[in-house]
């Protein structure tokens, strides 16, 4: 099943069911009005949503309309909680090697995770407004999950049953702030502006065999200004989403609608490219002794999309432009 949210002038938009081929959609308001209410009442509303999805794919849904991703918000426009992991260890190893970063304790046995901003998720075609090119604007291609209510102490084995939807994310980063905030040891804040999401969230069964062991075994295709940048595969994730849930829920409950990210998709085979500029710069540093690629400038575009084995888009595409935002009076613009 594929679900999305259309913008309607409210903070939460209106929930829609989207066809498997992403061409048609139908409002779900007769069942449940928003994604947040759907995930909070998943057991009650899922059967009706699936029935509507079947009717839509069969051409039997009343009042169906053409799906326009430009009109789409993030599938969940705002969330009570966004926890982003760093589950692809290759990415961390490259950064350590290239820039002389001290290894993180228990790096290979305990997932890294920070709590990011979730009050302002961006839609798949929304511009990304940012204050300054000097902040080191970067994209980060990731996968993510959305869970229902997860009890404290949930194990990785139990976590599988709490994953209700899969998503694809552009976790925008401002690299000039990351070393400063990492040294302070109190988590990211200014380094992590609003994240962007592909137009639909999908139930795990939509991926068939590509969803296994708590991982998305598909390549994430990234283009920067229309040029191929990378297509690393999500199957190389060292910590599964099951393990990330267990880590996040070790000392607290996770409310329904919590979104958990995988971190930058990264593969040991560098020929598949990267899902963020920082990683390419790390590879350049290792190979040439210095980074060559610059970070994004205003007007730059990024395209991200996941295709299944038959070449069909799974989540729809993120296709965005970075633009200049006018800061509030007195707002700091330099790190």
- What does the pLDDT look like over 195-237, one tens digit per residue? 999 999 999 999 999 999 999 999 999 999 999 999 999 999 9
Cβ within 8 Å of residue 316, ≥6 positions away: 22, 69, 72, 124, 198, 199, 200, 305
The answer to whether the beta carbons of residues 243 and 161 sit under 8 Å apart is no
**Residue 71, number of CB atoms within 10 A of its CB:** 17
- Of residues 77 and 327, the one with the higher pLDDT is 77
Identify the residue whose tokens are 């191929």: 228
Report the C-alpha gap between 200 and 32 in whole angstroms.
17
**Is 294 strand, coil or helix?**
coil
Region 7-36 average pLDDT: 98
DSSP state of 27: E
Identify the residue whose tokens are 């000392």: 251
| Burial class, 96, CB count within 10 angstroms (exposed 0-12 / middle 13-18 / buried 19+) | middle
Residue 114, CB-side half-sphere exposure with 13 Å CA sphere? 15
Confidence check: pLDDT of 107 > 90: no
Tens of pLDDT, residue by residue over 261-311, are: 999 999 999 999 999 999 999 999 999 999 999 999 999 999 999 999 999
Q: State residue 333's pLDDT score.
A: 45
Region 110-139 average pLDDT: 96
DSSP state of 72: B
Nearest CA to 258 among 156, 167, 155?
A: 167
Helix or strand run (H / E) with residue 50? helix 42-57
Report the C-alpha gap between 20 and 42 in whole angstroms.
20
| Local confidence band at 96 (pLDDT 50, 70, 90 cut-offs) | confident
Indicate the length of the chain as a whole number: 335
Q: How far is CA 179 from CA 101, 136, 274, 280, in A?
A: 10, 12, 20, 17
Write the CATH number of the domain with boundaries 82-324: 3.90.850.10
Q: How far is CA 232 from CA 31, 186, 287, 302, in A?
A: 37, 30, 20, 16
Q: What percent of the chain has pLDDT over 70?
A: 97
Residue 111, CB-side half-sphere exposure with 13 Å CA sphere? 27
**For the chain, which residues make up each domain, given as ranges?**
2-71, 82-324
Helix or strand run (H / E) with residue 324? strand 318-324
Region 143-169 average pLDDT: 98
């Amino acid at each position: 099943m594929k679900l999305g949210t259309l913008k309607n002038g409210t903070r939460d938009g209106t929930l829609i069911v989207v066809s498997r081929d992403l061409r048609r959609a139908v409002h779900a308001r007769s069942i449940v009005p928003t994604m947040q209410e759907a995930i909070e009442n998943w057991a009650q509303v899922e059967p009706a949503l699936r029935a509507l999805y079947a009717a839509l794919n069969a051409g039997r849904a009343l009042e169906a309309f053409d799906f326009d991703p430009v009109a789409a918000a993030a599938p969940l426009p705002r969330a009570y909680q966004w926890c982003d992991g760093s589950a692809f260890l290759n990415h961390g190893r490259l950064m350590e090697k290239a820039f002389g970063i001290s290894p993180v304790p228990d790096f290979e046995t305990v997932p890294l995770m920070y709590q990011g901003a979730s009050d302002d998720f961006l839609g798949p075609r929304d511009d990304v407004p940012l204050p300054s090119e000097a902040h080191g604007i970067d994209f980060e291609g990731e996968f993510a999950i959305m869970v229902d209510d997860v009890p404290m102490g949930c194990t990785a084995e139990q976590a599988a049953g709490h994953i209700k939807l899969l998503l694809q994310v552009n976790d925008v980063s401002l690299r000039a702030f990351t070393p400063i905030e990492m040294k302070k040891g109190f988590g990211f804040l200014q380094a992590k502006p609003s994240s962007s999401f592909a137009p639909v969230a999908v139930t795990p069964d939509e991926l068939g065999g590509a969803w296994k062991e708590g991982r998305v075994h598909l390549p994430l295709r990234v283009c920067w200004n229309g040029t191929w940048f990378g297509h690393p595969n999500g199957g190389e994730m060292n910590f599964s989403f099951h393990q990330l849930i267990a880590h996040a829920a070790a000392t607290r409950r996770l409310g329904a609608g919590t979104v958990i990210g995988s971190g930058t998709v990264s593969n040991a085979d560098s020929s598949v490219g990267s899902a963020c500029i920082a990683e390419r710069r790390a590879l350049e540093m290792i190979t040439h002794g210095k980074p060559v690629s610059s970070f994004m400038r205003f007007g730059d575009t990024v395209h991200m999309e996941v295709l299944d084995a038959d070449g069909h888009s799974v989540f729809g595409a993120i296709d965005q432009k970075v633009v200049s935002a006018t800061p509030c009076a007195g707002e700091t613009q330099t790190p």
